[in-house]
Amino acid sequence: MASSRLRFFLSLYFIYYFDLTVADELQSLYHDCYVNNGNYTTNSTYKANLNHLLNSLTNTTPIYNGFYHSSYGKNPDKVYGSAICRPDMDPDTCRDSVTVATRNLAYLCPNFRMAIGGYDDYNYTNCMLRYAYYDMIGVMENAPYFFVYSLCNITENVEEFNQTRQSLLQRLISQATAGGSNKYAAGEEAVSTIVTLYGLVQCTPDLTESKCNECLIDANKLLPNCCDTRQGGRVITPSCSFRYETNEFYKSSIAGPPVSPPTPSTNTTTQKGKNNYIIIIIVVVSVVTSVILIIGIIILLRWRKRKEKNENVEEIKDTESLQFDFGTIQIATDNFSDDNKLGQGGFGVVYKGMLSNGQQVAVKRLSKNSKQGEVEFKNEVLLVAKLQHRNLVRLLGFCLEGKERILVYEFVPNSSLDQFIFDPIKREYMEWERRYKIIGGISRGLLYVHEDSRLRIIHRDLKASNILLDSDMNPKISDFGMTKLFEVDESQSDTNQVVGTFGYMASEYVKYGRFSVKSDIYSFGVLFLEIVSGQKRSGFGSKDESDDLLTYVSVK
């Protein structure tokens, strides 16, 4: 009977997971969702304002040829947006390109208050779109930045090629920053008899000449990070960009006239003296300005970090009824004695403890260099404390004093599921009826966090070591530090940081950062097969290796 139930369960899993198709990602050359700048909810005023802005942006009159800027709504939900096309694009093509970019960005960055993205078929159309909760006009921003480059390398006369490229870009930067409202320049320069280099630099026309110059110089400094030996390359920032190729990729009509050699001066000594004086002034002013700017940025970053940290801590401390003092935890664990050590994972050590009322607890003490930062700690405290289900581990409280971050859970005596199903001796205790009961309990816990709780919760790290077993071998899902919260009517999101354990992670999550309920279902399927077979998924290695295989992958 139990075996037939297991076959039925397995059939349901494969039907549920593999019948769900993944939506095709719209073509976009680059994008960034500014994940650290806040989210909006599905039915919020901010989303309504953003939709209106994106749908109407190309209906506005460009501030300058190929540059759109608009806003919609009232503070604090007002949204600002801008788009810029390459200067050689005709108005109709530019407008169509921006329209496609608005559709792409809304799909690629759902629920993010800020985003930037570009649409490009490399030769024909090129535009960049961005939106934010503040007015971007006149503000020079050089982050985030993006690299696009040819896969072909220069193999001969590399030094001369690089020198010519720098000479070309510096000349174009000077022309663009002195071009009045144009803020762009295009031109060419030959690398001896080998090849001709073509370049295009462009700033958003709302910048002043000095800000445009600063932006392009900063972008040029990034060039060695991507394109030292590349035949073609691009550096793109929110406020400016440049591109070079060994073919003429722009319309020749936008290229400037050839550079004329300087006219000799009749008073060479006097002219040199004046030039040296001007250079000294420029250098001194640049150095002083740079020092002031760097100091200001450092102060601002420290202030913002301190403010965010205080906000996180205060939000946690609002749940005072769950807070333990550090002394109580020390007494309960016999000062974190090794005799009370239950195990150790990627985020710290877990100890067995006993409170003064005789209640047994499991104490998770996060290591000082733990990858689980305050955001994850806040997630686990505020989220798990509100979850009440027999198949979810229950959080009893927390401790946050100085550098100490501690979580106090109910004590689950039979340790974790991997201790049984992968142990050749304990595995004999796992008869089919018991395995069926464990699978059903995990399913009920997942159903609760996916469908029945107030927020839809994606666990993102479901595996055998995160399933705890109580005295009756009932499973309890634990370790919610990596969860993501969705509104009930949300179904999918993207992330720039992929977290979890390889082998349990769905391919679209690893490759694209796209996660949803299906991500947990995939992990559950792997876990299901492990429970049925008693074998660890191939490629994991030892238990310690799999437990510490938590990874942060940058997704671009």
Whose tokens are 């018991």? That residue is 434
Token pair of 419, please?
């201790």
DSSP secondary structure code for residue 449 in this structure: I
Which of the following is catalytic: 32, 120, 418, 461? 461
d(CA 204, CA 87): 11
d(CA 295, CA 123): 41
Q: Count of CB atoms within 10 A of residue 389's CB?
A: 17
User: 517-533 and 2-18 are packed helices; what angle lies between their axes, rounded to 10 degrees?
Assistant: 150
262: exposed, middle or buried (Cβ count in 10 Å: 0-12, 13-18, 19+): exposed
Contact 28, 119 (CB under 8 A): yes
Identify which of 472, 454, 450, 455 has the alpha carbon closest to the alpha carbon of residue 390: 472
Contact 131, 50 (CB under 8 A): yes
Token pair of 353, please?
């403890």
Contact 530, 4 (CB under 8 A): no
Listed as own residue / partner, the contacts of 21-28 with beta carbons closer than 8 Å and 24 or more positions apart are 22/508, 22/514, 22/518, 23/492, 25/107, 25/108, 25/512, 25/514, 26/100, 26/103, 26/104, 26/107, 26/108, 27/104, 27/119, 28/101, 28/104, 28/105, 28/108, 28/117, 28/118, 28/119
As a residue count, the chain comes to 556
SS3 129: strand
What percent of the chain is helix, strand and coil (3-state, nearest 5)?
40, 20, 35
Kindly give the pairing relationship between strand 492-494 and strand 514-516: antiparallel
Q: In angstroms, how far apart are the furthest CA atoms of the chain?
A: 105
User: Concatenated DSSP letters for 28-94?
Assistant: -SEEE--GGG-B--TTSHHHHHHHHHHHHGGGSPPSBTTEEEEEES-TTS-EEEEEEE-TTS-HHHH
Q: CA 101 → CA 55, 129, 145, 385, distances in Å?
A: 11, 6, 18, 41
SS3 292: helix
SS3 201: strand
Whether residue 120 lies in the annotated active site: no
d(CA 448, CA 390): 10
Residues designated catalytic: 461
